[in-house]
Amino acid sequence: MGYTEEERLEHKIWRRFNKGITEYKLLEDGDHILIGLSGGKDSLSLLEFMAKRAQIHRPAIRLTALHVRMSNIQYESDTTYLNDFAKAHNIELVVRETSFNPETDKRKNPCFLCSWNRRKVLFTVAQELGCNKIALGHHQDDILHTTLLNLTFQGQFSTMPAMLKMRKFPVTIIRPLCLVEEKDLTTWSQMREYRQQTKRCPYEKDSNRTDIKGIFEQMEQLNGEARRSIWNALEQEGKLVEIPDSDL
């Protein structure tokens, strides 16, 4: 009996998911991991595969999910759906609310302020709950696009790493979907019929990231190995795992 299309895709994502965890040593026995659950396809996929991974007893890990609502952004997050989704995977969901004032620091982009405040809540809740790691839903495309953005606009060869051990907080950021391609997560979310959250952000518009995504697609058309080439360069330069010198 052959596998269904959904089963084949699940196997592909699961294999890449576990390869990322193993290659970058993202999990350790006794980890209590806080999963950032925005409600988008990436974070929902992350929670589902992390829940599946938690059923494997080695390493033994605990999972809690956090959804952060931004009170001054029109973002219709269905917390009942998110809570039911987390509960179905035996994960407790914590919901917190925060806000930001774009007039406070006009030098900062509203998207930066929003992201910074959400991240601040993540760190606060992680410490409150005794979580030693925070798992975010960034996939391989996010990491590669960030690399190109930093090269183009900051003149730096850097990216969002698969593992980042924080210097100022006793918390490590991990990205277990680091080897999974966005196109596979998009198809997976459609097959699983994830309910997408409705966002009406007044600051949302086409950005440099959108432009870079288009450029990266052109690069892949030019060279089918572009993805692998950039990723290998990141690995060779040690950009995918960041640990403070004091911890080496």
- What CATH number is given to the structural domain containing 20? 3.40.50.620
Residue type, 193: E
Rg (alpha carbons) of the chain, rounded to whole number: 18
Give the pair of three-digit tokens for residue 93.
């969901």
185, 117 contact by CB (below 8 A)? no
Residue 105, exposed/middle/buried by CB under 10 A (0-12, 13-18, 19+)? exposed
Supply the pLDDT for residue 109. Answer: 74
- Host domain of residue 45: 5-247
Coil/strand/helix, residue 34 = strand
Residue 12 scores a pLDDT above 80: yes
- C-alpha to C-alpha distance for 13 and 181, rounded to whole angstroms: 9
Mean pLDDT value across residues 150-170: 94
Tell me: the pLDDT tens digits for 167-197?
A: 888 999 999 999 999 999 999 999 999 997 7
**For residues 44 and 189, is the Cβ–Cβ distance under 8 A?**
yes
Q: Which helix (H) or strand (E) holds 171?
A: none
Residue 61's nearest CA partner among 91, 104, 82, 17 is: 91
Contact 200, 74 (CB under 8 A): yes
Structurally, the chain folds into a number of domains equal to: 1
| Contacts of 209 by beta carbon, 8 Å cutoff, 6+ apart | 145, 149
For 154, phi then psi, to 5°, come to -120, -10
pLDDT for residue 86 = 98
